A = this chain, B = another copy of it.
Amino acid sequence: MRQEQRQMHLGVFVLGTGNHVAGWRLPGAADSFQNLSVAQQIARTAERGLFDLLFLGDGLSADPNAHPSFTARFEPITMLAALAATTTHVGLGATASTTYAEPYTVARLFASLDHLSGGRAAWNAVTTSGGQAAANFGRQHPPHGQRYEVAEEFIDVVRGLWDCWEDDAIVADRKTGRYIDAAKVHKLHHKGRFFEVEGPLNIGRCPQGQPVILQAGASEPGQEMAARSADVVFSVVQDLDEARAAYAALKERLPRHGRDPGEVAVLPGVMPVIGRTQEEALEKLDHLQSFVNSTNALSMLSNRLGQDMSAYPMDGPVPDLPLPDTSHGFARTMLAKARREGMTLRDLYNLTAAARGHWVICGTPASIADTLEEWFLGGAADGFNILPPYFPGGFDEFVDGVVPELQRRGLFRRAYRGRKLRDHLGLSRPARQHGTPT
């Protein structure tokens, strides 16, 4: 018997107006991130493409100069709950902040989503890079290092809360009238540096045991957090060498946390711009780029680099900047690429406008599949987080063009094997570890 080929994992990063900042301007493209029927159509396409995961980011402030889908957007967990009711297989992942939310609340929301979806929930634990959120919560934005200290404890509390109920604690015995076996519901009694949480959670153990944890921070503490707790890591990389290095660095951290490198899937983000020919793909990207408006692009670049970039000359070189307090991951990759390729600030700004610092690939379905295969087999990825530049067309092209290419090569499933996100990811249901008797 032939050994089965290792399989890719695919996620789709959903922003209603498209991942490209001006994707919504293409004729036929969706132009709203407040429209359930568009979201439902994307979710159907994700299931047609047998995707592991549909992912929604989140932010806690609105800047009319930012990416349109960052400004006027559904709250992601409610949007996923709505999609849970009209999908059957695709994983449903959303961001929730460890800096501006409460662990009891976050634990409940994702546990509830896991129950509603029959075991398809995933939580992207982010520390919230932008300080603009602080003013909406009457708070000071904590510095980068402290945000991660809080985040580590936050995740522990959430995971502890998810474990308060034993799997068989709900008895619901009509005869005796016993509904809950109280001996199987445990308190958490957490008293830490940042949180005191007694528990138990007010929802039974999840279909997945615990929802899946996603992580996307690439700073030193971000990578440590990923190595300790994440099931899926979104990486931000611009070329194969960089992707290999990031992949290896993350996998090396795992054994130190008692984990096997195979337990974590690393998915670089990539925006595919697809044409019937290479030229057509490049033209399409040019067309999208011609839509870019300088206010959006400059605001997005300033955000990524953590300072106001309007002070620098646009056609001068990209200045040497320190890693910002906002996000190490994006700034490092973008500045490295700018140095490598001798970019001007305008080039970098165009890159940010396109995919917000993620990798952009132009080509035919076959050439894109070639590249993804090379990365996947070449130690740079366990799959990819796909950022369609616009919806629904840009995603249809990937699902109808690239996915069959990957399937033909034996790199991607031809059918779902299970109903839960953990099934798609090849992850086992975690045993209960936390909680002490009440």
Instruction: Let me know if A74 and B138 touch, CB within 8 A.
Output: no
How many copies of the chain does the oligomer comprise?
A: 2
Tell me the minimal C-beta distance from A49 to chain B in angstroms. 21
Tell me the minimal C-beta distance from A204 to chain B in angstroms. 5
Contacts of A24 in B (CB 8 A): 172, 174, 179
Interface string of A129-170 (1 = CB under 8 A from B): 000000111100000000000000000000000000100001
Contact of A104 among B27, B137, B195, B201 (CB under 8 A): B137
Tell me the minimal C-beta distance from A403 to chain B in angstroms. 26
**A365 at the A/B interface (Cβ < 8 Å)?**
no
Tell me the minimal C-beta distance from A134 to chain B in angstroms. 9
Contact of A180 among B71, B82, B101, B165 (CB under 8 A): B71
Contact of A62 among B25, B34, B185 (CB under 8 A): B185
Contacts of A396 in B (CB 8 A): none
Binds B, one of A106-114, A342-350, A414-422, A426-434: A106-114
Most chain B beta-carbon contacts within 10 A, residue among A79, A84, A85, A197: A85
Tell me the minimal C-beta distance from A34 to chain B in angstroms. 5
Q: Chain A interface mostly helix, strand, loop or mixed?
A: loop
Instruction: Let me know if A72 and B36 touch, CB within 8 A.
Output: no
**A116 at the A/B interface (Cβ < 8 Å)?**
yes
Q: How far is the CA of A415 from the CA of B46 in the complex (A)?
A: 37
Contacts of A195 in B (CB 8 A): 138
**A382 at the A/B interface (Cβ < 8 Å)?**
no
Tell me the minimal C-beta distance from A227 to chain B in angstroms. 27
**A22 at the A/B interface (Cβ < 8 Å)?**
yes
Contact of A74 among B62, B70, B71, B115 (CB under 8 A): B115
Contacts of A177 in B (CB 8 A): 22, 25, 291, 293
Interface residues of A (CB under 8 A from B): 17, 22, 24-25, 27, 31-32, 34, 36, 40, 59-62, 64-65, 68, 70-75, 77-79, 81-86, 100-102, 104-105, 108-109, 111-113, 115-116, 135-138, 165, 170, 172, 174, 177, 179-180, 182, 185, 195-204, 291, 293, 438
